[in-house]
């Protein structure tokens, strides 16, 4: 661990609840700034460590999505003969959103176990470790997003509705953080959780409308389609970017409520288990 890393992670959080109201506000602002700095440092450290020593550096973040796009496009258009207007950008929109979600879960489930030295440190804000996992997935999404936007601009054309893209992105971030807060402590208690998440992510690629549309789903399986939050988030992004339409309140409303509920439950779970997690490490 470098000297800079140690100085950031070992900085004491400002005391909360000082006698003066002004001091209390300053203390809260200082604590918020501390949590922000530590979270961003963890994300930056993971990103730079992952690409350190490689010739292409951060451009490797583009490789998985573009490779998936090429293989999936070939299989479903050339082999299976699937016809969908603007299929490359249709497909890339789903791949980018799903890869962010999948990466967040795969990192988040081991957020505490993989950073044991931080999770076991007295006074360390354990809650930020799963948050950094969700942000790492978001960072990969942000890096690859310009490729999608350029492809849409060159192809079907960008619509003004694309300015509303941060709305489903924010909902997905809240959902990812909530799930990471739930999965990370459960993995410490039950080591099978990580295996379950790996299988769920693998199956999720096929039961999420990444390479197909709603009308391709048989009616008897529509319940699975509707209960999958990523279905609605991907459809919302496609509506904004490809169709020039705003998602309906019903389309995103239930997902937003579910994301908030998931995050609250995850916060409560991790807060209650925070003191016992180091004993299980």
pTM reported for the whole predicted model: 0.80
Is residue 94 within 8 Å of residue 209, measured between CB atoms? yes
- Helix-helix angle 166-189:128-154, to 10 degrees: 140
Per-residue model confidence (pLDDT) at position 15? 42
Mean pLDDT computed over every residue of the chain: 81
Is residue 5 within 8 Å of residue 41, measured between CB atoms? yes
Per-residue model confidence (pLDDT) at position 2? 46
Is residue 270 within 8 Å of residue 130, measured between CB atoms? yes
Whether the predicted pLDDT of 119 surpasses 60: yes
Q: What are the residues whose beta carbons fall under 8 Å from the beta carbon of 257, sequence distance 6 or more? A: none
Question: How many Å apart are CA 59 and CA 140, to the nearest integer?
Answer: 10
pLDDT digits (tens, 9 = 90+) for 42-52: 777 776 776 56
Whether the predicted pLDDT of 250 surpasses 60: yes
């Amino acid at each position: 661990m470098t000297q800079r890393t140690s100085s950031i992670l070992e900085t004491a959080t400002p005391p909360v609840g000082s006698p003066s109201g002004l001091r209390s506000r300053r203390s809260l602002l200082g604590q918020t700034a501390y949590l922000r700095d530590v979270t961003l440092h963890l994300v930056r450290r993971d990103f730079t460590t992952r690409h350190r020593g490689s010739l292409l550096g951060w451009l490797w973040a583009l490789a998985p999505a573009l490779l998936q796009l090429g293989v999936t496009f070939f299989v479903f258009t050339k082999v299976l003969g699937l016809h969908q207007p603007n299929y490359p950008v249709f497909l890339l929109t789903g791949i980018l959103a799903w890869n962010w979600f999948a990466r967040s879960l795969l990192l988040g489930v081991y957020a505490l176990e993989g950073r044991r030295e931080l999770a076991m440190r007295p006074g360390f804000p354990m809650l930020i470790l799963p948050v950094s996992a969700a942000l790492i997935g978001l960072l990969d999404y942000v890096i690859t997003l310009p490729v999608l936007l350029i492809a849409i601009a060159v192809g079907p054309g960008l619509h003004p509705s694309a300015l509303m893209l941060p709305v489903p992105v924010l909902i997905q971030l809240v959902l990812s953080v909530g799930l990471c807060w739930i999965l990370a402590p459960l993995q410490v208690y039950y080591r099978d959780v990580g295996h379950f998440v790996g299988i769920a992510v693998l199956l999720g690629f096929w039961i999420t409308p990444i390479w197909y549309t709603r009308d391709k789903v048989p009616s008897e399986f529509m319940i699975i389609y509707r209960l999958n939050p990523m279905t609605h988030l991907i459809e919302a992004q496609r509506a904004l970017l490809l169709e020039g339409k705003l998602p309906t309140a019903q389309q995103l409303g239930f997902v937003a409520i579910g994301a908030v509920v998931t995050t609250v439950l995850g916060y409560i779970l991790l807060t209650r288990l925070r003191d016992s997690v180091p004993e299980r490490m």
